[in-house]
Amino acid sequence: MLLCLPGVLSKQQVAECRRIAADAEWIDGSATAGQQSALVKRNMQLREESPQAKRMGDVVLDALAANQLFISAALPLKILPPLFNRYQGGESFGTHVDNAIRAVRGTPFRLRTDLSATLFLSEPEEYDGGELTVEGAFGAQEVKLPAGDMVLYPASSLHHVKPVTRGTRIASFFWLQSMVRDDGERALLFDLDNAIQDLARDQGLAHPVAVRLTGIYHNLLRRWADA
């Protein structure tokens, strides 16, 4: 399931992150690439242990913790500290798949990458190219979102970033481990949760059908969750 989440960061939070990034040191993006990905990765990124990356990462994590759509869709168990990249001057990232296991450098922390996320920090009109293209069961989907919006997609997907031929594309990217490993099961739970919320808005959360559906949701979550 590929899902676009609007307004994860407010325009003020985007501006704050852009101010922080303007004073930061950018390094070769291959620093966090796997062996195969490094062959096709041509971009820059903030040093992951830098104070700027940590400050911006805290902004992103706080916003995610308050975003009910993200929580419903991802059912997050562990989230890697967000990273930040920059594309300009023809830079791109060729077709690749993300590593199945990621670690935080210098720590014993590990997680299984069930989902990948890209949170856009540049407005679409600020640059040409730079579309994130994700290959799925129904073909390739191109994503280029307003600043503050985020796309969430299975980390098992082949994907690439097209060359940025004008301007600069800045984004946050990160991975998470979900409580529900299987993407199909997560999608069913997300659809069921949305149906319950729609019913609750129309009939109230205490409506007998809403109560039964809520019970089904939690029993499925209990069956499928790793937490």
98 annotated ligand binder: yes
Q: Per CATH, which fold does 183-224 belong to?
A: DNA Excision Repair, Uvrb; Chain A (4.10.860)
Residue 169 annotated as binding? Answer: yes
Strand partners, 42: 92
The pTM (predicted TM-score) of the whole model is: 0.94
Compute CA distances 56 → 77, 121, 151, 201, whole Å: 21, 11, 18, 35
Start-end of CATH 2.60.120.620 domains in the chain: 3-178
Question: Could you tell me which CATH class the domain 3-178 is placed in?
Answer: mainly beta
According to the annotation, is 222 in a ligand binding site? no
- Report whether 159 belongs to an annotated binding site: yes
Cα angle: 14, vertex 17, 23; to 5 degrees: 145
> In the numeric block, which tokens belong to residue 93?
């990232």
**3-class secondary-structure state, position 103:** strand
- Report d(CA 198, CA 190) in Å as an integer: 12
Tokens of 188: 């069913």
pLDDT per residue, tens digit, the chain (227 aa), is 999 999 999 999 999 999 999 989 999 988 776 667 778 999 999 999 999 999 999 999 999 999 999 999 999 999 999 999 999 999 999 999 999 999 988 888 899 999 999 999 999 999 999 999 999 888 899 999 999 999 999 999 999 999 999 999 999 999 999 999 999 999 999 999 999 999 999 999 899 999 999 999 999 999 999 97
